[in-house]
Amino acid sequence: MKTLSRRTLRLWLTLFILGCGSDPIQTEQNDEFRYPMVVGNSWRYSQTYAIADTSAGTAWHVTDSGYVRTGVTAMETWGPLYKFRLDMQYLTDQDTTNSTDWYLQSTNGLYSFAYENAGSGLGNPAPGQPQCLIGGKWFVSIEDGVRYFIEGRRPVRDEVHYEDPPKQTYSYTLEVGAKWIFRSYDEPFWIQKTCIGREIVTTVDGNYDCFVIKIEYDMDEDRSPDTDFIGYEWVAREGLVKRQFLGEGLVWDEGQHDYLLKKLKNELLLLSYHKSVVTPFE
């Protein structure tokens, strides 16, 4: 009970800092960027995984593809802030998995508050079972590995993991040059985000004016951004439009214990955006 009380106290202290001094309620009439956290908003993405042998240049071979569906399904007040629930479904030819995220919307950013079903877990590979070794860690699938490295999420199943303190996914006001720490060291590793520009991204759903966010990591804790792992996000007023993660020096096991140094690319691309007809915070 002492641990729970301390955690709750820290979360409420963070909530006070995030919401203190200004009205956290945002509407679509606000000219500044706010992620469209409105109940009923939903997005559908294509998702691809590709690998390339480091000895064969940059020729990419798609190993898996599928779709991601996500939508804002609930909202509730949490002190002076609003807490939103996003339900996600990952669909491939082999499997369908689900996960849930909770976010806090504040005047100075969107914060990751908690998540459930972020992966199948870490562990030693079972004989003959396809596994992925990334950054010295074994994962049950590339999906689990990518989730871990994209946002530093610990692979957990059937339990809610609370971010303590909540992690700043996007900084407000979002503008070119904005920089913020997403994770500190031991959480489980340092991640920094920087808005490096604006770019028009063309999708089958139309053209989107996006902020380009560079994601840097320091997994080996040498106090310098890694050169073999890097991520990018293209985010617009309509939400996340594109995300790309690139990793080098990876080992992929096809189930035959055939270990090769690989490059990995994971990409999400928006297929459709459904805007809710519900008035924000109605």
What does the alpha-carbon distance between residue 40 and residue 37 come to, in Å, rounded to a whole number?
9
Tell me the chain's radius of gyration from C-alpha atoms.
19
Nearest to 50 by CA among 65, 32, 38, 28: 65
160-169, 257-266, 272-281: which is most confident: 160-169
Instruction: Return the structure tokens found at 210.
Output: 């996006």
Domain positions in the chain: 2-274
Tokens 């629930």, residue located? 85
Among 19-33, 64-78, 122-136, 267-281, which is the least confidently predicted range? 19-33
- The pLDDT of residue 55: 63
Mean pLDDT (whole number) for 154-166: 78
166 near 113, Cβ under 8 Å? yes
58 near 68, Cβ under 8 Å? no
Please enumerate in sequence order all residues whose Cβ is within 8 A of that of 11, keeping only pairs 6 or more positions apart, or say none: 162, 164, 165, 166
Give the Å distances, CA to CA, from 257 to 17, 62, 131, 138, 141.
Answer: 50, 20, 9, 13, 15
User: For residue 250, with 0-12 CB atoms within 10 Å meaning exposed, 13-18 middle and 19 or more buried, which class applies?
Assistant: buried
Query: Is pLDDT above 50 for 169?
Result: yes
Among 46-55, 129-138, 239-248, which is the least confidently predicted range? 129-138
> Is the bond preceding 188 in cis, omega lying within 30 degrees of 0?
yes
264 near 134, Cβ under 8 Å? yes
Tokens 């004989």, residue located? 127
Query: Is pLDDT above 90 for 269?
Result: yes
pTM score:
0.81
Query: Is pLDDT above 80 for 281?
Result: no
